[in-house]
């Protein structure tokens, strides 16, 4: 697709930096896509999302279909307009919910396998039924029954009007038999074709989704099948084993056409990002920064910290010294230019740009159940990840990817 241009490659690997042009602006890749499932980045305003440097926001077809309805979003002028985001947008097809509301429920297998870990699972009971033609869902809101077919998903996404949409797919559980996964894969390919046919030539771009679970042959088969179809780019879906996300991604990106963008769906921890970028992925979305943030887990250069820990109660330091986010280093973001500000406001007004929210304060907010807690943590986390990917991009441009990666990971794991 001519909208995507590779600017620089990481030599000896599949990795690259590029630009992806959309009707609402250019995305510099690799880029981290902010997740805003229900036309909202949880706990954040779009001003805050913009302020951390986010380039794209991703909504979800299933959620927006249930509430407030595709018709209403369309009437509002499309997803971006509706939520107050002027930049590029994407929508996921609802395919992931086939898994997360289906086989994923009551299982320890999520987006990333954690069957070997302690910890526990959420409620169980599938709310999904799959057949050749499509999927019957039970609404998580009221239990009502709904049906998605590939055509239906695409029609909804047309109404939602994001710049980039995804084909309807089935994300299988790795616990399913290989035989089933193969079947599901073939079906997903048929669905991809139907999605593409329904899409025809719209101004929106459409990405097809590669599946295939943990199996090399299935992954390659899927990549080959999708590569033959006329998609504008590709999503790489599936539930992964943490330690071989990179490997699995490598299998498929070796096959997918180089000139088209690749979006690794739902992946987003720092270690994973490096691996996937090296293996040729251009886009990533992940709920981790915002979800973890709301749950009190905060990214730092030395790894994640749990702000609920006793030791942070009296820590009057910023989450991370030197962090450029407005939580750590700029208590009052300055909306005015330097000169203007000094004229308009006396020095005591604040806005020095030197303040910060302390760990103790944020820890307090969490304990007090103040929603500001989730907001501050989300701002910091989103900034952390978005900027990590930006820095990775810069390191590629500067021919210093490996060096940057090693330095970052060394510190992050310490």
Partner RNA sequence: GCGCAGGUGACAGAGUGGUCAAUUGUACCUGGCUGUAAACCAGGCGGCCUUCGGCCUACGCAGGUUCGAAUCCUGCCCUGCGCA
| 286 is an annotated ligand-binding site residue | no
- 235 is a contact residue toward RNA (CB under 7 A): yes
Cα distance between residue 104 and residue 401, in whole Å? 35
| 171 is an annotated ligand-binding site residue | no
Residue choice 6, 26, 76, 105 for contact with RNA (CB under 7 A):
105
**Residue 133 or 241 having the CB closest to RNA:** 241
Catalytic residue (one of 230, 272, 285, 398): 285
Cα distance between residue 401 and residue 274, in whole Å? 9
Residue choice 51, 127, 331, 360 for contact with RNA (CB under 7 A):
127
Cα distance between residue 23 and residue 175, in whole Å? 40
Q: Which of residues 65-104 bind RNA (CB under 7 A)?
A: 92-93, 95-97, 99-101
Going by C-alpha positions, the residue among 99, 86, 23 that lies closest to residue 57 is 86
Residue choice 112, 130, 227, 360 for contact with RNA (CB under 7 A):
112
Is 92 known to be catalytic?
A: yes
Query: What is the distance between the terminal CA atoms of the chain, rounded to a whole angstrom?
Result: 41
| 241 is an annotated ligand-binding site residue | no
Cα distance between residue 38 and residue 361, in whole Å? 29
- 111 is a contact residue toward RNA (CB under 7 A): yes
Residue choice 308, 332, 344, 397 for contact with RNA (CB under 7 A):
308
Residue choice 354, 367, 403, 413 for contact with RNA (CB under 7 A):
367
**Residue 265 or 362 having the CB closest to RNA:** 265
- 177 is a contact residue toward RNA (CB under 7 A): no
| 158 is an annotated ligand-binding site residue | no
Cα distance between residue 387 and residue 52, in whole Å? 8
Cα distance between residue 389 and residue 281, in whole Å? 12
**Residue 117 or 179 having the CB closest to RNA:** 117
| Residue 272, φ and ψ in degrees, nearest 5 | -70, -35
* Residue 127: C-alpha distances to residues 22, 68, 97, 101, 142 (Å): 35, 21, 10, 6, 12
- 48 is a contact residue toward RNA (CB under 7 A): no
The contacts of residue 6 (CB under 8 Å, 6+ apart) are 16, 17, 18, 258, 259
Chain centroid to Cα 413, Å, comes to: 22
| Residue 266, φ and ψ in degrees, nearest 5 | 75, 15
| 238 is an annotated ligand-binding site residue | yes
C-beta separation of 399 from 7 below 8 A: no
Cα distance between residue 269 and residue 288, in whole Å? 7
Q: Which of residues 257-286 bind RNA (CB under 7 A)?
A: 265-269, 272, 285-286
Cα distance between residue 305 and residue 312, in whole Å? 10
Is 244 known to be catalytic?
A: no
* DSSP assigned state of 103: I
- 117 is a contact residue toward RNA (CB under 7 A): yes
| Residue 109, φ and ψ in degrees, nearest 5 | -95, 120
Residue choice 116, 118, 177, 338 for contact with RNA (CB under 7 A):
118
Give the x-and-dash track for 191-230 against RNA (CB under 7 A). Answer: ------------------x-x-------------------
The single residue listed with the structure tokens 């896509």 is 33
Residue choice 56, 58, 128, 218 for contact with RNA (CB under 7 A):
58
- 57 is a contact residue toward RNA (CB under 7 A): no
How many residues are there in the chain?
414
| 113 is an annotated ligand-binding site residue | no
Among 108-116, 157-165, 327-335, 388-396, which window interacts with RNA (CB under 7 A)?
108-116
- 163 is a contact residue toward RNA (CB under 7 A): no
* Binding-site entries for substrate: 92-96, 169, 211, 238
**Interacting residue ranges for RNA, rule: CB under 7 A:** 35, 37, 41-43, 58, 60, 63, 92-93, 95-97, 99-101, 105, 110-112, 114, 117-123, 125, 127, 140, 166, 169, 171, 209, 211, 235, 237-238, 242, 265-269, 272, 285-288, 290-292, 294-297, 306, 308-310, 313, 367, 369, 371, 374
Name the residues annotated as catalytic: 92, 285
């Amino acid at each position: 697709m001519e909208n995507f241009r590779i600017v620089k490659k990481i030599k000896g690997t599949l990795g690259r930096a590029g630009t992806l042009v959309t009707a609402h602006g250019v995305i510099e890749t690799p880029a981290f896509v902010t997740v805003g499932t229900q036309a909202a980045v949880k706990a954040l305003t779009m001003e805050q999302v913009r302020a951390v440097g986010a380039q794209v926001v991703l909504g979800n077809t299933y959620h927006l279909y249930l509430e407030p309805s595709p018709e209403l979003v369309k009437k509002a002028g499309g997803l971006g307009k509706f939520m107050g985001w002027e930049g590029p947008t994407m929508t996921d097809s609802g395919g992931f919910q086939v898994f997360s509301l289906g086989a994923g429920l009551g299982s320890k297998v999520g987006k990333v396998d954690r069957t070997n870990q302690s910890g526990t699972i959420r409620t169980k009971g599938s709310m999904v039924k799959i057949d050749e033609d499509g999927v019957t869902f039970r609404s998580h809101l009221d239990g009502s029954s709904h049906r998605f077919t590939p055509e239906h998903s695409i029609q909804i996404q047309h109404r939602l009007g994001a710049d980039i949409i995804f084909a309807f797919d089935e994300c299988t559980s790795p616990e399913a038999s290989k035989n089933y996964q193969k079947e599901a894969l073939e079906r997903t390919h048929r669905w991809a074709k139907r999605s593409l046919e329904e899409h025809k030539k719209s101004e929106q771009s459409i990405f097809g989704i590669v599946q295939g679970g943990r199996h090399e042959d299935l992954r390659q088969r899927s990549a080959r099948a999708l590569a033959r179809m006329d998609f504008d780019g590709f999503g790489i879906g599936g539930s992964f084993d943490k330690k071989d996300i990179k490997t699995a991604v490598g299998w498929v990106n070796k096959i997918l056409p180089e000139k088209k963008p690749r979006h690794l769906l739902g992946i987003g921890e720092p270690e994973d990002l490096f691996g996937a970028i090296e293996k040729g992925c251009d886009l990533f979305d992940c709920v981790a920064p915002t979800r973890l943030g709301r749950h009190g887990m905060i990214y730092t250069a030395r790894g994640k910290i749990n702000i609920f820990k006793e030791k942070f109660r009296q820590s009057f330091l910023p989450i991370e010294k030197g962090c450029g986010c407005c939580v750590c280093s700029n208590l009052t973001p300055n909306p005015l230019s330097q000169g203007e500000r000094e004229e308009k406001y006396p020095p005591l007004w604040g806005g020095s740009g030197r303040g910060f929210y302390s760990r103790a304060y944020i820890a307090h907010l969490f304990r007090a159940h103040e929603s500001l807690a989730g907001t501050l943590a989300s701002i910091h986390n989103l900034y952390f990840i978005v900027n990590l990917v930006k820095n990775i991009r810069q390191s590629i441009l500067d021919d210093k990817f490996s060096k940057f990666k090693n330095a970052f990971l060394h510190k992050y794991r310490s």
